Structure 1
């Protein structure tokens, strides 16, 4: 199973690849330690002024763009 398929399965769907991920999706998909490596592998994080804080980590990420 690809990392992208795992992400879809564990997070209940993938956001539109051309749109930023909303805060609720980020929270749902980053609070589980098991899913973090999948996200890191599947997504490219880009910083932006309107950054979201990943819960429990204090890291700031901006728009999350799906990699092909």
Structure 2
């Protein structure tokens, strides 16, 4: 099944990676640079949680049971 939004995101991601010759270190450095610039411009940055969240409902427990 093809989704046009997924295809667009993948093509953008591939173009970005190609710009750095698929070098993961260079891609990471560019993403960190972009992140630093956005934070300096005043955009909010949300840090990941320090602890893994505990499911509160039965649905959440069954949904994430296999992870």
TM-score (norm 1): 0.24
- Higher-Rg structure is 2
Greater share of residues in strand: 1
Greater share of residues in helix: 2
TM-score (norm 2): 0.24
If asked which structure has higher relative contact order (CA below 8 Å, sep 6+), I would say 1
